[in-house]
């Protein structure tokens, strides 16, 4: 597997450091991104289209925004599907719906291509450090074959089951993540409304049993009250739409998640979507 040739599609906040790590580990990597300029400086060949990329590699990895992007790149004109041949593997690492993951797997597996959904837990820093947690659904044999790739990108691979189960796992962990972010924002807002100083409120949380890695990561932004994107808020709003749909389909009532989903939707409506997810603290009062 170490001689495996990888086609990497998607060079956003996450895709760039992940592709860079594979190149640094010695993998042969060919890149494609809709906006070609984002590949500059990575030192890898750039394919003219997803189809052209797929034709020349063993494994195609996508790290794209959402279902629409994944559909366009896999099955649109000049898409990956046009270039694939039996025996290849496609890994989707973006956060897309479990249904889209399963549909893509069914379509491509019919053609002898192995498909994994492998979204990631962790943001730009773990992506840069190669310490993501990879949440996988799909055939065990393909997971085992792709393990050397996952080992470069992450510190842990968790195989949850069949196609779509990696995507489901990602929805579950992001429900907790988004709820922690909103709870942190509300704790700061409550403290300030009660006349407490923000720095001291953050110090108190940091010394409490409620401290977490995600909280610690967000302290500098909260102190500066400035939220340059690491995990763009629009992606968390998208994730909560997927969480609500999945919960409804599964018949499980999640009242806290429903309230948090409304906060991220309000943040998007107030043009905070391109800022970091922690910018949910800036949502103007809506009631």
Looking at the annotation, which residues are catalytic?
170
Decide whether 19 or 205 has the Cβ nearer to ligand NAP. 19
Dihedral sign from CA coordinates of 119, 120, 123, 125: negative
> Which value, in Å, is the radius of gyration of the alpha carbons in the chain?
20
164: left (phi over 0), alpha (psi -120 to 50) or beta: left
Does residue number 12 form part of the binding site for ligand NAP (CB under 6 A)? Answer: yes
14 binds ligand NAP (CB under 6 A): yes
Residue whose CB is less far from ligand NAP, 12 or 130 = 12
Q: Which is nearer to ligand NAP, 73 or 185 (CB)?
A: 73
Interface residue with ligand NAP, options 46, 72, 219, 247 (CB under 6 A): 72
> Interacting stretch for ligand NAP, rule CB under 6 A, among 82-90, 101-109, 119-127, 193-201?
119-127
**Residue 233: both structure tokens together:** 């808020």
Which residue, 50, 23, 45, 22, is CA-closest to 132? 22
Cα distances (Å, whole numbers) of residue 224 to 166, 183, 184, 279: 35, 19, 15, 12
CB of 32 to ligand NAP, least distance (A): 9
**CA angle 91–96–102, rounded 5-degree value:** 65
Q: Which of 120, 246, 267, 280 binds ligand NAP (CB under 6 A)?
A: 120
Stretch that binds ligand NAP, among 139-147, 189-197, 207-215, 226-234 (CB under 6 A): 226-234
**First-to-last C-alpha distance (Å) of the chain:** 56
Other CB atoms within a 10 A radius of the CB of residue 263 amount to: 22
Spatial CB neighbours of 249, under 8 Å, sequence gap ≥ 6:
none
User: CB-wise, 120 or 201, nearer to ligand NAP?
Assistant: 120
User: 3-class SS at 172?
Assistant: helix
Distance CA(228)–CA(279), nearest Å, equals 9
Query: What does the per-residue mask of binding to ligand NAP show for 140-179, with x meaning CB under 6 A?
Result: ----------------------------------------
- Regarding 34 and contact with ligand NAP (CB under 6 A), the answer is yes
Report the candidate in 192, 230, 179, 187 with the shortest Cα–Cα distance to residue 206: 187
Written as six digits, the tokens of 240 are 């909560």
Q: Is 201 in the site for ligand NAP (CB under 6 A)?
A: no
Q: Which residues contact 189 (CB under 8 A, 6 or more apart)?
A: 281
Q: What is the smallest separation between the CB atom of 128 and ligand NAP, expressed in angstroms?
A: 11
Nearest approach, Cβ of residue 258 and ligand NAP (Å)? 20
For the CB of residue 43, give the shortest distance to ligand NAP in the complex, in Å: 18
Site string for ligand NAP, 73-112 (x = CB under 6 A): x--------------------xx-----------------
Binding site for ligand NAP (CB under 6 A): 10-15, 33-35, 38, 63-66, 68-69, 72-73, 94-95, 120, 123-124, 230-232, 235
């Amino acid at each position: 597997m170490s001689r495996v040739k990888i086609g990497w599609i998607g060079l956003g906040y996450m895709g760039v450091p992940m592709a860079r790590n594979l190149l640094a580990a010695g993998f042969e990597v060919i890149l494609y991104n809709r906006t070609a300029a984002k590949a500059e400086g990575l030192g890898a060949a750039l394919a003219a289209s997803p189809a052209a990329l797929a034709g020349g590699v063993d494994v195609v990895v996508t790290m794209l925004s959402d279902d629409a992007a994944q559909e366009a790149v896999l099955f649109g004109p000049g898409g990956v599907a046009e270039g694939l041949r039996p025996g290849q593997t496609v890994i989707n690492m973006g956060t897309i719906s479990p249904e889209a993951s399963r549909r893509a797997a069914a379509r491509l597996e019919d053609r002898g291509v192995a498909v994994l959904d492998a979204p990631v837990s962790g943001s730009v820093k773990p992506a840069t450090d190669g310490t993501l947690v990879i949440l996988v659904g799909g055939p065990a044999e393909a997971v085992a074959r792709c393990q050397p790739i996952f080992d470069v990108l992450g510190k842990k691979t968790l195989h949850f089951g069949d196609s779509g189960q990696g995507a489901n796992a990602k929805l579950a962990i992001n429900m907790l993540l988004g709820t922690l972010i909103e709870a942190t924002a509300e704790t700061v807002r409550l403290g300030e409304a009660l006349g407490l100083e923000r720095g001291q409120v953050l110090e108190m949380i940091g010394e409490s049993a409620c401290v977490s890695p995600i909280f610690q990561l967000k302290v500098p932004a909260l102190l500066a009250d400035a939220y340059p994107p690491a995990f763009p808020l629009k992606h968390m709003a998208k994730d909560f739409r997927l969480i609500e749909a999945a919960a409804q389909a599964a018949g499980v009532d999640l009242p806290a998640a429903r309230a948090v989903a409304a906060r991220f939707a309000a943040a998007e409506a107030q043009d905070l979507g391109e800022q970091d997810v922690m910018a949910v603290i800036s949502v103007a009062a809506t009631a």
